[in-house]
Structure 1
Amino acid sequence: MEVLVLPTSADVARRAAEVVLEGLAAARGAGPVLGLATGSSPLGLYAELAGAVRAGRLDLSAATGFALDEYVGLPAGHPQTYREVLLREVCAPLGLAPERLHVPDGSGRTEQELVAAAAEYERLITEAGGVDVQILGIGANGHLGFNEPGSSLSSRTRVKRLSDRTRHDNARFFDGPDDVPTHCVTQGLGTVLDARRLVLVASGPTKAAAIAAALEGPLSASCPASVLQWHPDATAVLDEAAATQLRNRDYYDASAAGL
Structure 2
Amino acid sequence: MRIRVFESPKDAGIYVATLMEQVILHVERPVLGLATGSTVIPCYQAFRSLADCGLDLSRTVTINLDEYVGLSADHAQSYHYFMRENLFQHLPTKPEESHVPNGVAANLEEECKRYDALIQSHPIDLQLLGIGVNGHIGFNEPSHSLLSRTHVVSLSEETIQSNARFFDTVKNVPHQAVTMGVQAILQAKQIVLVAFGKNKAKAVAESVSGSVQTNVPASMLQLHRDVTWVLDKESASLLPGELWPH
The percentage of aligned residue pairs carrying the same residue is 41
Aligned residues: 246
Who is 2:108 aligned against?
114
Alignment partner for residue 79 of structure 1, among 64, 76, 81?
76
Query: Using the alignment, how far apart are the partners of 2:112 and 2:236 within structure 1?
Result: 34
Alignment partner for residue 63 of structure 1, among 51, 57, 60?
60
- C-alpha spacing 1:40/1:175, structure 2 compared with 1 (3 Å): same
1:173-220, CA deviations, whole angstroms, 9 ceiling, x for partnerless residues?
111111010100000111111111111111110100000011111111
- C-alpha spacing 1:96/1:178, structure 2 compared with 1 (3 Å): farther
* Alpha-carbon offset, residue 166 of structure 1: 0.7
* Alpha-carbon offset, residue 23 of structure 1: 3.1
Residue pair 2:57, 2:95 contacting (<8 A) in 1 also: no
* Alpha-carbon offset, residue 33 of structure 1: 0.9
1:113-165, CA deviations, whole angstroms, 9 ceiling, x for partnerless residues?
1111001001012222x111111100011000000001744611100000111
Query: Using the alignment, how far apart are the partners of 2:215 and 2:65 within structure 1?
Result: 20
* Alpha-carbon offset, residue 75 of structure 1: 3.1
Residue pair 2:51, 2:93 contacting (<8 A) in 1 also: no
Query: Using the alignment, how far apart are the partners of 1:192 and 1:173 within structure 2?
Result: 25
Q: What is the root-mean-square deviation of aligned Cα atoms in Å?
A: 1.8
* Alpha-carbon offset, residue 172 of structure 1: 1.2
After TM superposition, the structure 1 = structure 2 runs for residues 120-135 of structure 1, keeping only pairs within 5 Å, are 120-128=114-122, 130-135=123-128
| Paired AA for residue 164 in structure 1 | E
Is 1:13 matched up with 2:10?
Answer: no
After TM superposition, the structure 1 = structure 2 runs for residues 1-259 of structure 1, keeping only pairs within 5 Å, are 1-27=1-27, 29=28, 31-56=29-54, 58-95=55-92, 97=94, 100-109=97-106, 113-128=107-122, 130-150=123-143, 152-153=145-146, 155-248=148-241, 250-252=242-244
Which 5+ residue runs of structure 1 have no aligned equivalent?
A: 255-259
Residue pair 2:24, 2:60 contacting (<8 A) in 1 also: no
- C-alpha spacing 1:193/1:94, structure 2 compared with 1 (3 Å): farther
Which 5+ residue runs of structure 2 have no aligned equivalent?
A: none
| Paired AA for residue 173 in structure 1 | F
| Paired AA for residue 31 in structure 2 | V
| Paired AA for residue 104 in structure 1 | P
